[in-house]
Amino acid sequence: MKYLVWSLVVALIILHQDFWNWDNANLVFGFIPVTLLYQVCISLGAGITWFLAVQFAWPQELEYIEQQMEEKKGEE
Amino acid sequence: MVFEPGVTQLVIICFYLALLLALGLFSNRLFSGSSKDYMLASHSIGPFLLLMSIFGTTMTAFALVGSTGESYKEGVGVYGLLASSSGIIHSLCFFVLGVKLWSLGRKYGYTTQIEFFRDRLESDKLGLLLFPVLVGLVIPYLLIGVMASGTVVTAVTRGAFPVWFESTQGGVPGWLGSLVICGVVLTYVFFGGMRGTAWANTFQTIVFMVLGLVAFFVIASQIGGKEGLWANLVAASESIPRDKLVRAGNPSMSYLRFATYMFVPLSVGMFPHLFQHWLTARKASNFKLAVVAHPLFIMIVWAPCVLIGAWAAGNLVPIPPAVDANANAILPFLVKRFSGDVLGGFLTAGVLAAIMSSLDSQFLCVGTIFTNDIVVHYGGKNRFTDKQIVMIARTFIILIVAITYGLSLLDYRRVFTLGVWCFSGFSALFPLVLAALYWKGLTKAGAYASVITAISLWCYFFYQSDFAGNPHYSVLDMMPVAPMLAGSTLALILVSLVTPRPSEETLQKFFPAKDS
């Protein structure tokens, strides 16, 4: 799953380079410029990707550091 | 009762500023008096406050005023240039750098980046090099906020004092607006420290997000001169000139420039004020909400602003020459044009909230760096009491506010352009923090070479761009950040490969064996 998450991040970076929309002046739903809508979808994609990242690729070892800090605090 | 135009807005702005002062003074009641509490809120910040304070700090005048102005000048492609790319890269930096730096900060008691680098690379003098570089790059960032706040106040109070301020058509002059904003921010940072800053940021982030959306709907429902929101949206978007709908033919948006713009948001990895905010987190998992919500929050703020800027470029609203010449004034102009006095005042408060939520962290951070990395480091930890340390930080904060305010009076630059230069400088330092965390082979000499190369290239390109006067400046059709980043990375790797690494003890400290 970790690899999938990082692959999604790389895919987002590539998809962000939307040269295929460079000269596209269409308005989606009659008012949203397609250039803007496409990049808004990239933002939504980023939100979903980072949600998956914190679920499946979170550095678990840091929870141990928190525990250490709590113990140290207790000793003090 | 009928007031002069602009008076109602001014009263609401004053009320909002008074509210902020009260918040700062109230947070002072929870201040324990220790320097750790003043600078890091005693590592007590939970996930919601962390998200809001990080987001509020990252989104400045650049996000509301700058994005609208830039879209007015360059078109809707501006969203892709910085907003969507930031959604990916900022969260990447929080995830890959922020959490790790937080854990090291908690473990070894760091307050600033310089403390971390000194320790990691066993180099005292590296701090002396980093100090002017980091502070020097924060100052243009501060200038963005101070300049934009003056512009906003002038634009919305136009007509309030026709006898006193003739040159601004009765608006409160920019120098006075900036002075008041600096005074308010200074007061709540002075008294509230990091806790006051985090609270004020959270409050202001909520204010500017909500009011930003309200502004969008108010403008969107009237700009087309039609009945109903949908008809106005369609009319407004149909009026956008073709060159503002596409990126083709725009000198600011060649393929290569667009692609290399993606390096600009790497700057958050080296923002000293963000480093300090990261360290306020109570625990590592508090970062999760910020990592996920940050791209969505950027979208909520940027997309409406970019659309409004593009609408302003159409022929539905005549833009006065003075506003056209100063892109930063587009949003306040439209707010004033389409909303009533009361709503206009609240919306202006929202714009000022976005500006102040960055200024506060930056002022606090510069004061912290000076106190920790220069005064206490060279004066000796035992020489000063905790109370004296807090007082030194406060004194330096006053000094930096005064210097920034003075500089803001000197010249005008497009907020967006100046911001991109400032971010580019920090981005060029990104390889240093990444290598420090993930590459055992990084050496002290490599770090020096990287920082010196980054800043030399920055100074050279900045000079070549007429000190940010040329918004279309590029290097081989790329954003200047690309060669700066390549240069600093190359210098870091090459010099590190031929110079001695830090001691084994230090490497063990920062790269402990997995099974230990």
Q: pLDDT digit string (tens) for B423-456?
A: 899 999 999 999 999 999 999 999 999 999 999 9
Do residues A42 and B86 touch, judged by C-beta distance below 8 A? no
Total domains, chain B: 1
* Structure-block tokens of residue B292: 């996920």
Do residues B65 and B151 touch, judged by C-beta distance below 8 A? yes
What is the reported pLDDT for B411? 62
Asked whether residue B1 is assigned to any structural domain, the reply reads no
What is the reported pLDDT for A69? 67
* Structure-block tokens of residue B443: 């050496």
B45 DSSP β-pair partners = B281
Partner B contacted by A9 (CB < 8 A): yes
Verify whether the Cβ–Cβ distance A54 to B258 is below 8 Å.
no
What is the reported pLDDT for B414? 57
Dump pLDDT digits (tens) for B228-271.
899 999 999 999 999 999 998 887 788 999 999 999 999 999 99
What is the reported pLDDT for B446? 97
What is the reported pLDDT for B506? 94
Q: Look up tokens 């799953």; give the residue.
A: A1
What is the reported pLDDT for B516? 44
Instruction: Give how far Cα B61 sits from Cα of A36, B6, B56, B301, B416, Å.
Output: 21, 21, 11, 12, 9
pLDDT (mean) for B412-425: 74
Asked whether residue B228 is assigned to any structural domain, the reply reads yes
What is the reported pLDDT for B346? 80
Label residue B155 by pLDDT band (50, 70, 90).
confident
Rounded to 10°, the helix B67-74/B330-338 angle is 100
Q: Is the pLDDT of residue B341 over 60?
A: yes
pLDDT (mean) for B82-111: 92
A52 DSSP β-pair partners = none
Query: How many other C-beta atoms can be found within 10 angstroms of the C-beta atom of residue A26?
Result: 12
The Cα B278–Cα B298 span in angstroms is 19
Asked whether residue B32 is assigned to any structural domain, the reply reads no
For B239, nearest residue in chain A (alpha carbons)? A31
What is the reported pLDDT for B13? 86
What is the reported pLDDT for A32? 95
Q: Is the pLDDT of residue B71 over 90?
A: yes
pLDDT (mean) for B272-297: 90
What letter does residue B370 receive in the DSSP assignment?
Answer: I
For A30, nearest residue in chain B (alpha carbons)? B234
Asked whether residue B505 is assigned to any structural domain, the reply reads no
Nearest to A50 among B103, B292, B299 (CB): B292
Q: Mutation test of the interface with chain B: which of A9, A27, A31, A38, choosing the one with the most B Cβ atoms within 10 A?
A: A31
Dump pLDDT digits (tens) for B293-318.
999 999 999 999 999 999 999 989 89
Q: Domain map of chain A by residue range?
A: 2-75
DSSP B406-439: HHHTT----HHHHHHHHHHHHHHTHHHHHHHHH-
B242 DSSP β-pair partners = none
What is the reported pLDDT for A29? 92
Q: Tell me, what amino acid is at A15?
A: L
Dump pLDDT digits (tens) for A17-70.
999 999 999 999 999 999 999 999 999 999 999 999 999 998 877 766 766 766
Dump pLDDT digits (tens) for B496-516.
999 999 999 999 999 987 654
What is the reported pLDDT for B430? 96
The Cα B212–Cα B200 span in angstroms is 17
Asked whether residue B301 is assigned to any structural domain, the reply reads yes
Q: What is the ipTM of this complex?
A: 0.92
What is the reported pLDDT for B79? 94
Verify whether the Cβ–Cβ distance B296 to A43 is below 8 Å.
yes
B225: left (phi over 0), alpha (psi -120 to 50) or beta: left
The Cα B514–Cα B516 span in angstroms is 6
DSSP A1-59: -HHHHHHHHHHHHHHT--GGGTT---EETTTEEHHHHHHHHHHHHHHHHHHHHHHHS--
* Structure-block tokens of residue B263: 């390096």
Verify whether the Cβ–Cβ distance A9 to B288 is below 8 Å.
no
The Cα A3–Cα A17 span in angstroms is 22
Asked whether residue B291 is assigned to any structural domain, the reply reads yes
What is the reported pLDDT for B187? 87
Residues in chain A with CB shorter than 8 Å from the CB of B482 are: none
Short-list B221, B200, B268, CA closest to B434:
B268
Q: Is the pLDDT of residue B41 over 50?
A: yes
The Cα B461–Cα B465 span in angstroms is 6
Short-list B170, B166, B171, CA closest to B154:
B171
Largest CA distance in chain B: 77
Q: Mutation test of the interface with chain A: which of B36, B250, B292, B307, choosing the one with the most A Cβ atoms within 10 A?
A: B292
Verify whether the Cβ–Cβ distance A13 to B88 is below 8 Å.
yes
What is the reported pLDDT for A73? 65
Q: Tell me, what amino acid is at B73?
A: K
Cβ-proximal residues to B441 (8 Å cutoff; 6+ apart), any chain: B435, B496, B497, B501
The CATH number that applies at residue B310 is 1.20.1730.10
Q: What percent of chain B has pLDDT over 90?
A: 37
For B284, nearest residue in chain A (alpha carbons)? A62
Do residues B124 and A56 touch, judged by C-beta distance below 8 A? no
Do residues B398 and B187 touch, judged by C-beta distance below 8 A? no
What is the reported pLDDT for B420? 79
Q: Mutation test of the interface with chain B: which of A34, A35, A52, choosing the one with the most B Cβ atoms within 10 A?
A: A35
Residues in chain A with CB shorter than 8 Å from the CB of B79 are: 35-36, 39-40
The Cα B257–Cα B148 span in angstroms is 26
The Cα B242–Cα A33 span in angstroms is 10
Domain span holding position B210: 7-27+40-412
The Cα B26–Cα B24 span in angstroms is 5
